[in-house]
């Protein structure tokens, strides 16, 4: 996929813990040509398998990005097309349905998720769980891509991402197929899409003065421990992954975009080519790890028990500048999740 060129206006090395305000998606990546579509992809307008994926529509087309000075000169969150996003993180139960449909053998290591039990032998594997309503975690971004392909076409290798039987595609070889996406295909959110769904609310409709909240609970104040599953220090949090829908909802009606599990996005930056950005914090981290000035870096092949995902679905043709945010450096890694933070600056 096409990497984002990140401009460092502060002329300082971009290493260690950095600011999400420095890595917004308004970086105008060079586009690659769309791949040739199959008829099955063009025809995909609804979920192919019979699995229930609750979605909410993200409208306010053409909204401004977050223009907080700490992000200057970038404006994350600006999306000039309508799309759907998962109301909740993908659950273990939904993922088990996927595994039982496609992984009687498991050449792509799809069955690594925690809270999933595999039985039987190769060629006759079956999968089950006793915690179907927890977010699925400890899966790589490749597994997430295969899940959304399956939702789109019923096949793990074709859909919005052309994986074509390659367990770990080569650097720069995977691009979101926007024609498949706009025909109702499913994908992993870009940072644009994830950020808007989490933090945006028009000021004219009760939002903050700049249209963006600090927290994904439609507030500039950190929620209490019983309002979002993060380490609040008030003994109200579960202290573990919680049933999806634990948090109070935000403006658009999504849950758990703060805490519970970190979430994959498909956005990368060229300075860290073997990493992709993650969002949302987790039950192991404090509120600052979940706010609008924090993103994470995870190596592409990482699997971690605090890292899951939610999905998006296309509804209209995306504009090129904001549509193709992509993965690069597609190689398995073993490094842990790193957080990337810069506090918002006072206006």
Distance CA 147, CA 156 (A): 7
Distance CA 85, CA 57 (A): 6
Question: How many Cα atoms within 13 Å fall on the side-chain side of residue 149?
Answer: 22
> What residues contact residue 39 under an 8 Å CB cut-off, 6+ apart?
none
Question: How many Cα atoms within 13 Å fall on the side-chain side of residue 323?
Answer: 24
Report H helices in 106-221: 141-153, 178-182, 191-199
Which one of 28-37, 197-206, 329-338 scores highest in mean pLDDT?
A: 197-206
Distance CA 159, CA 146 (A): 9
Nearest to 187 by CA among 173, 177, 196, 197: 177
Residue 311: predicted pLDDT: 98
How many residues does the structure list for the chain?
A: 347
Ramachandran area for residue 206 (φ above 0: left; ψ -120 to 50: alpha; else beta): left
Q: Is the pLDDT of residue 36 over 90?
A: no
Rounded mean pLDDT of 144-159? Answer: 96
Distance CA 164, CA 335 (A): 27
Domains and CATH numbers, the chain: 1-347 (3.90.1580.10)
**Percent of the chain whose pLDDT exceeds 90:** 56
Rounded mean pLDDT of 292-317? Answer: 86
Rounded mean pLDDT of 11-36? Answer: 30
Residue 267: predicted pLDDT: 86
The alpha carbon of residue 7 and the mean position of all alpha carbons in its chain are separated, in whole angstroms, by 23
- Dmax (CA) for the chain in angstroms is 60
Q: Is the peptide bond before 73 cis (omega within 30 degrees of 0)?
A: yes
DSSP string, 228-280: SSS--SSS-S-SS---TT-SPP-TTS---SSSSSEEE-S--BTTSTTEEEEES
Bigger pLDDT: 312 vs 41: 312
Asked which of 91-105, 228-242, 326-340 is least confident by mean pLDDT, the reply is 326-340
**Percent of the chain whose pLDDT exceeds 70:** 72
Report pLDDT digits (tens) over 93-104. Answer: 999 999 999 999
Q: Is the pLDDT of residue 52 over 90?
A: no
- Asked if 35 and 177 touch (Cβ cutoff 8 Å), the reply is yes
Distance CA 61, CA 40 (A): 28
Rounded mean pLDDT of 41-48? Answer: 44
pTM over 0.85: no
Q: Is the pLDDT of residue 238 over 90?
A: no
Report pLDDT digits (tens) over 130-143. Answer: 999 999 999 999 99
Torsion of CA 101, 102, 103, 108, to 10 degrees: -150
Report pLDDT digits (tens) over 71-129. Answer: 666 678 999 999 999 999 999 999 999 999 999 999 999 999 999 999 999 999 999 99
Nearest to 96 by CA among 131, 123, 121: 131
Asked which of 4-13, 179-188, 194-203, 311-320 is least confident by mean pLDDT, the reply is 4-13
| Tokens 């691009």 sit on residue | 175
DSSP string, 61-119: TT------GGGTT--TT---S-EEEESSPPBHHHHHHHHHHH-SS-TT-GGG-TT-EEE
Report pLDDT digits (tens) over 212-221. Answer: 999 999 999 9
DSSP β-bridge partners for residue 126 = 119
Element containing residue 323 per DSSP (H, E):
helix 320-323
Mean pLDDT of the chain: 78
């Amino acid at each position: 996929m096409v990497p984002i060129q990140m401009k460092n206006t502060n002329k300082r090395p971009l290493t260690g813990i950095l600011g999400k305000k420095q890595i917004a998606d308004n970086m105008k990546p060079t586009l690659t040509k769309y791949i040739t579509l199959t008829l099955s992809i063009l025809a995909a307008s609804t979920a192919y398998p019979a699995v229930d994926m609750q979605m909410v529509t993200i409208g306010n087309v053409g909204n401004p990005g977050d223009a907080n000075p700490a992000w200057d000169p970038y404006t994350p969150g600006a999306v000039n097309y309508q799309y759907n996003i998962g109301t909740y993180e993908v659950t273990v139960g939904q993922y088990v349905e996927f595994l039982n449909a496609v992984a009687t053998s498991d050449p792509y290591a799809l069955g690594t998720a925690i809270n999933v039990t595999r039985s039987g032998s190769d060629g006759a594997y079956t999968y089950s769980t006793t915690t179907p309503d927890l977010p699925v975690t400890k899966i790589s971004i490749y597994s997430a891509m295969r899940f959304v392909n399956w939702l789109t076409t019923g096949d793990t290798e074709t859909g919005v991402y052309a994986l074509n039987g390659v367990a770990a595609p080569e650097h720069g070889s995977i691009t979101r197929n926007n024609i498949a996406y706009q025909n109702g295909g499913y994908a992993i959110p870009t940072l644009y899409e994830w950020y808007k769904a989490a933090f945006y609310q028009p000021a004219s409709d009760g939002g903050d003065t700049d249209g963006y909240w600090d927290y994904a609970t439609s507030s500039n104040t950190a929620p209490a421990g019983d309002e979002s599953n993060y380490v609040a220090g008030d003994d109200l949090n579960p202290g573990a992954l919680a049933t999806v829908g634990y948090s109070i909802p935000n403006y658009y009606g999504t849950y758990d975009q703060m805490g519970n599990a970190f979430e994959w996005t498909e956005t990368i930056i060229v300075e860290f080519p073997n990493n992709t950005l993650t969002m949302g914090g987790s039950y192991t981290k404090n509120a600052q790890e979940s706010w609008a000035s924090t993103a994470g870096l995870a190596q592409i092949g990482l699997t971690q028990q605090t890292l899951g995902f939610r999905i998006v679905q296309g509804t209209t043709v995306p504009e090129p500048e904001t549509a193709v945010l992509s993965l690069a450096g597609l190689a398995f890694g073993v490094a842990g999740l790193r957080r990337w933070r810069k506090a918002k600056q006072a206006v």
